[in-house]
């Protein structure tokens, strides 16, 4: 069988670790086929996007060889506007989504300027981005190097928090640690940070108070004081270290899909360190140096000071090449004019703009001198990239060696237009060779895209149980197929490390809660259960009333094989006391053995200590099946949980649905008993389901509970599988 592996052009991926969009079955004679996607922007010399282009007008070359375009997509952001509650991933393909990285340079910037730059950054995030755009916030300092504060996310509230803190340790104390950097704080653990996207309406909302400004100012001042008395040699070393750090960031950014615009907030370094100061008739020191050179006194002249330092130029150019290879365009924002500590004359004499201009220009970006107004200036970039053409091709005989392949795209039939696309792509390489930040970006990309991935087969069950009028306790049961999880896992490995990430977003795209865990299994004890069934994980979320999307990713930490699943959860307004039926909970049969793992949160978790395990019948706990595996003709027990149903008799009816949602037949569903819960408004019905005359395959069971008196009916569903 041939398996199609999607190699996103801005992602360094491993074969076997990729989102596989074919079947998960594998054979020894399997051949892997890589598909490359190339997003292209076409615009006029005035910056207007060119629309109405067709696939036959494009030509694409991989290392000089013309490739057949196997698929073609057009994404026009002016047309594609997601409705409230609609996932942007359903509107715009992952490769065509624009990415902006707001990078604050804390080492080559004045403290006061950095604090002022936050306001410009917030204004850009809140008022200029398209709903489908993804944005991240990062900092660079000599003490920590590049540091990702929040990963690429559509959540404007999290971005506002990240811009406020700029990574200051004191401002991050006490926040739950999110390994993928989607969440800085959640409403449950940081009331002071409970900013909603709906609250972020103008520039003044969401800014730090005086106490936070003071804390941030102290943090930034400590960083800058290290460099007050540096000599030129040390300054060059500082720039070289800066370039090396950003080179590593660029290499990691190759793991994020789509074109990235790196908005660099900085005052820049002294461009003379790299380019030299050149001959200057008005510079007495330069005249003396010229005379020394004429008389042959080379030892008395620092030629690097005149002509520039070749080694430093090489370091910076290597860094810029990595950004270009990662499909990154640097938009440099000079923030020197934001500092109140400099007079206009001193600001005019600053030489950082030469370096900033060079860095931006070499990657295809621009230098913005008015930091306060840079958002308005970036409108041209937003306009140019509002229409994206995505070209697909399948390179032949691609080695999994991580080598770089140069790309060229040509457009026929249109003159006077410009094309913007990445310069090339990296061939896949083993997952274990990736940097930890690359692995995290791969995971966060999959979470943000929310597209199903089935390299590892997973099933998810999430249901809201009333905790109080304001909150629901939402248990999340994740079933992980053991055979697909173990596929490609070396037999010599005695341990199996499994990464599990669960995030939940509301209708506004805000991350409202999450849990993550690294589970390490001893294969000597767990392999048999894994191969027969798999791993079943129990975690929970804490949510207010509303509609949510639960996103789950499970990954083999050694091979990178992943599974992604999303489910929707609706938390009712409990104070309204309206009827509500939860999904049918099938009781796991005793002969199915899982490796059971339960979430562990912090000792301060209130719900962890106080919430009673919700899956019980007559006081006895049971394990619910996320995706029941049933045999035709063999009955299965299930529990129906309902809130605020009228007193009296219920009529329960089941219907079996096909995969496309069409009705197949009436289900044989029989209520065994109505159990006593002891909780007002909570009903539990124990029932049996008898599947008959169903071929092996996937189905959905829809259950309707009808009040015999009022005729009021509540529905809910659960997918199930018939096995031979």
- Judge whether 98 and 331 are in contact, CB under 8 Å: no
Domain ranges of the chain: 2-92+385-433, 99-384, 452-723
Torsion, Cα 524 529 535 536, to 10 degrees, reads -130
Listed residue (395, 417, 247, 385) closest to 323, CA to CA: 247
- Judge whether 107 and 242 are in contact, CB under 8 Å: yes
- Judge whether 3 and 355 are in contact, CB under 8 Å: no
Token readout for 709 is 């008196």
Residue with tokens 């620092």: 302
Measured from the Cβ of residue 467, the count of other Cβ atoms closer than 10 Å reads: 18
- Three-state DSSP class for 639? strand
CB-count burial class (<10 Å; 0-12, 13-18, 19+) for 346: exposed
CATH of 452-723 given 1.10.645.10, 2.60.40.3880, 3.40.50.300, 3.90.1150.10: 2.60.40.3880
**DSSP per position, 478-496:** EEEEHHHHHTT--TT--EE
- Three-state DSSP class for 546? strand
pLDDT at 608: 52
pLDDT at 102: 96
Q: Say which residues have a Cβ less than 8 Å from residue 286's Cβ, sequence separation at least 6.
A: 277, 278, 279, 280, 306
Phi and psi torsions of 680, nearest 5°: -60, 130
Q: Say which residues have a Cβ less than 8 Å from residue 481's Cβ, sequence separation at least 6.
A: 456, 457, 458, 534, 563
CB-count burial class (<10 Å; 0-12, 13-18, 19+) for 561: buried
Listed residue (206, 208, 85, 196) closest to 512, CA to CA: 196
- 99-384 under CATH 3.40.710.10, yes or no: no
At residue 243's C-alpha, the angle toward residues 419 and 257, to 5°, is: 40
Region of 244 on the Ramachandran plot (φ > 0 left; ψ -120 to 50 alpha; else beta): alpha
pLDDT at 18: 29
- Judge whether 186 and 176 are in contact, CB under 8 Å: yes
Measured from the Cβ of residue 134, the count of other Cβ atoms closer than 10 Å reads: 26
pLDDT at 560: 94
Q: Tell me how far CA of residue 49 lies from CA of 96, 310, 387, 567, 666, in angstroms.
A: 15, 39, 6, 37, 54
Residue with tokens 């990240």: 162
Half-sphere exposure of residue 454: CA atoms within 13 angstroms, side-chain side: 10
Rounded Cα distance between 405 and 436, Å, is 23
Write out the H or E segment, with its range, that includes residue 523. Answer: helix 523-532
Rounded Cα distance between 159 and 125, Å, is 8
Q: Say which residues have a Cβ less than 8 Å from residue 121's Cβ, sequence separation at least 6.
A: 102, 104, 137, 163, 263, 265
- Judge whether 677 and 625 are in contact, CB under 8 Å: no
- Judge whether 40 and 9 are in contact, CB under 8 Å: no
Write out the H or E segment, with its range, that includes residue 531. Answer: helix 523-532
Same CATH fold, 452-723 and 99-384?
Answer: no
Q: Say which residues have a Cβ less than 8 Å from residue 306's Cβ, sequence separation at least 6.
A: 276, 277, 278, 279, 286, 289
Terminal Cα distance for the chain, rounded: 23
- Judge whether 146 and 249 are in contact, CB under 8 Å: yes
Listed residue (543, 712, 718) closest to 628, CA to CA: 718
Half-sphere exposure of residue 71: CA atoms within 13 angstroms, side-chain side: 10
Rounded Cα distance between 466 and 342, Å, is 58
**DSSP per position, 667-712:** EEEEEEEEE---STTEEEEEEEEE--S--SEEEEEEEEEEETTT--
Measured from the Cβ of residue 341, the count of other Cβ atoms closer than 10 Å reads: 10
pLDDT averaged over consecutive 10-residue blocks of the chain (724 residues)?
Answer: 34 29 29 78 90 95 95 90 71 85 90 86 89 92 88 91 82 73 62 43 45 70 52 76 93 87 91 68 58 55 62 91 93 80 46 84 89 79 90 89 92 91 88 90 91 94 93 96 92 91 92 94 93 95 95 96 96 91 93 89 54 86 94 93 83 92 92 83 91 94 86 91 90
Rounded Cα distance between 176 and 703, Å, is 39
Q: Tell me how far CA of residue 643 lies from CA of 123, 216, 408, 706, in angstroms.
A: 44, 48, 61, 13
pLDDT at 185: 57
């Amino acid at each position: 069988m041939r398996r199609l592996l999607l190699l996103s052009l801005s992602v360094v991926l491993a074969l076997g670790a990729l989102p596989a969009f074919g079947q998960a079955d594998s054979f020894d004679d399997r051949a892997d086929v890589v598909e490359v996607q190339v997003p292209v922007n076409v615009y006029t010399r005035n910056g207007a996007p060119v629309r109405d282009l067709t696939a036959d007008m494009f030509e694409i070359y991989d290392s000089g060889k013309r490739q057949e375009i196997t698929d073609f997509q057009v994404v026009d952001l002016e047309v594609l506007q997601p409705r409230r509650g609609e996932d942007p991933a359903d509107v715009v393909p992952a490769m065509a989504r624009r990415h902006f990285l707001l990078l604050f340079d804390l080492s080559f910037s004045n403290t006061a300027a950095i604090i002022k730059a936050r306001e410009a950054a917030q204004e850009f995030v809140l008022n200029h981005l398209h709903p489908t755009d993804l944005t991240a916030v990062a900092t660079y300092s000599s003490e920590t190097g590049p540091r990702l504060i929040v990963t690429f996310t559509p959540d404007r509230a999290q971005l506002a928090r990240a811009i406020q803190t700029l990574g200051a340790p004191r401002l991050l104390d006490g926040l739950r640690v999110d390994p993928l950097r989607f969440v800085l704080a959640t409403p449950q653990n940081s009331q002071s940070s409970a900013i909603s996207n709906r609250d972020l309406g103008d520039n003044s909302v969401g800014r730090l108070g005086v106490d936070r400004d003071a804390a941030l100012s102290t943090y930034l001042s400590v960083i800058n004081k290290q460099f007050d008395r540096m000599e030129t040699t040390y300054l060059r070393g500082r720039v070289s270290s800066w370039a090396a750090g950003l080179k590593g960031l660029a290499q990691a950014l190759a793991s994020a899909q789509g074109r990235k615009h790196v908005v660099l907030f900085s005052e820049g370094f002294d461009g003379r360190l790299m380019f030299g100061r050149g001959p200057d008739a008005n510079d007495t020191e330069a005249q003396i140096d010229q005379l020394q050179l004429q008389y042959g006194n080379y030892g008395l002249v620092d030629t690097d000071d005149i002509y520039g330092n070749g080694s430093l130029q090489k370091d910076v150019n290597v860094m810029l090449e990595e950004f270009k290879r990662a499909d990154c365009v640097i938009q440099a924002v000079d923030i020197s004019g934001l500092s109140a500590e400099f007079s206009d004359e001193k600001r005019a004499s600053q030489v950082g703009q030469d370096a900033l201009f060079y860095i931006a220009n070499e990657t295809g970006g621009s230098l913005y001198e008015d930091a306060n107004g840079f958002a308005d200036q970036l409108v041209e970039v937003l306009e140019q990239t509002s229409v994206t053409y995505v070209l697909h091709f399948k390179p032949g005989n691609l080695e999994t060696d991580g080598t770089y392949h140069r790309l060229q795209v040509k457009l026929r039939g249109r003159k006077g237009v410009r094309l913007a696309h990445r310069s090339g792509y990296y061939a896949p390489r083993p997952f274990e060779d990736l940097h930890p930040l690359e692995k995290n970006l791969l995971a966060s990309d999959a979470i943000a895209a929310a597209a199903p991935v089935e390299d590892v087969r997973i099933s998810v069950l999430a249901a809201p149980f009333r905790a109080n009028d304001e909150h629901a306790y939402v248990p999340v049961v994740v079933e992980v197929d053991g055979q697909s999880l173990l596929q490609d896992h070396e037999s010599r490995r005695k341990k199996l490390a499994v990464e599990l990430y669960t995030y939940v977003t509301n209708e506004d795209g805000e991350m409202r809660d999450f849990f993550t865990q690294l589970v390490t299994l001893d294969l000597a004890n767990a392999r048999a259960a894994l191969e027969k069934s798999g791993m079943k994980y129990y975690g929970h979320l804490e949510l207010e009333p509303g509609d949510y999307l639960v996103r789950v990713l499970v990954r083999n930490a050694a091979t990178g094989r992943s599974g992604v699943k999303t489910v929707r959860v609706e938390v009712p307004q409990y104070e309204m006391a309206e009827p509500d039926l939860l999904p049918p909970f099938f009781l796991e049969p005793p002969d199915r053995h899982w490796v059971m793992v339960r979430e562990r949160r912090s000792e301060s978790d209130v719900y962890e200590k106080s919430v009673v395990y919700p899956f019980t019948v007559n006081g006895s706990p049971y394990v619910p099946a996320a995706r029941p595996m049933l045999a035709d003709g063999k009955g299965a027990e299930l529990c129906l949980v309902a809130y605020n149903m009228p007193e009296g008799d219920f009529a329960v009816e089941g219907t079996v649905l096909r995969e496309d949602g069409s009705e197949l037949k009436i289900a044989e569903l029989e209520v065994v008993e109505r159990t006593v819960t002891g909780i007002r408004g909570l009903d539990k019905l124990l029932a049996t389901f008898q599947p008959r005359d169903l071929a092996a395959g996937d189905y959905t069971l829809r259950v309707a509970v009808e009040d015999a008196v009022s005729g009021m009916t509540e529905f809910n569903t659960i997918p199930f599988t018939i096995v031979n």
